[in-house]
Amino acid sequence: FLGLINSAKEKIHIQLLSYDPASHGEYYPATENALRSAALRGVQAKLIVSDWNKRKPGVDYLKSLQVLPNIEVKFSTIPEFSDGFIPYARVEHCKYMVVDDSLTWIGTSNWAKNYFYASRNLGLVIKGK
């Protein structure tokens, strides 16, 4: 998926449950560096992440991206169930990225190192409009 970000020429749209490059205590800069590089090339990047990402330290990484020109971060919130809190429910588990309206990555990985190196996850890339 990093190759897709690096290939972007105009825009990247991303929606994730979780974005935390320092998840589990180990900083993984690859994704952040790719997004920053794309923004510096003039690529418009829009991220939508679950409101779970408003916690520290993850929110700090999102804030550091959002101050860059060409990067926009929004939080998705689903109201609590009327009968009360349900763990791991009422949150969007989406994990996808669309690059230049012609490449789409759909996967099961949140964007943290352990999802790519220590878990069994799946990603699919679709090319076409």
Asked whether the predicted pLDDT for residue 48 surpasses 90, the reply is yes
The per-residue pLDDT for 38 is 98
Asked: is 2-127 a CATH 3.30.870.10 domain? The reply is: yes
Q: What is the mean pLDDT of residues 108-125?
A: 87
Q: What is the DSSP string of the chain?
A: -HHHHHH-SSEEEEEES-B-TTGGG----HHHHHHHHHHHTT-EEEEEEEGGGGSTTHHHHHHHHHTSTTEEEEEE--PPPTT---TT-SS----EEEETTTEEEEES--BSHHHHHSS---EEEEE--
Q: What is the mean pLDDT of the chain?
A: 91
59-98 residue pLDDT tens: 889 999 999 999 999 999 988 888 988 887 888 889 999 9
The per-residue pLDDT for 10 is 98
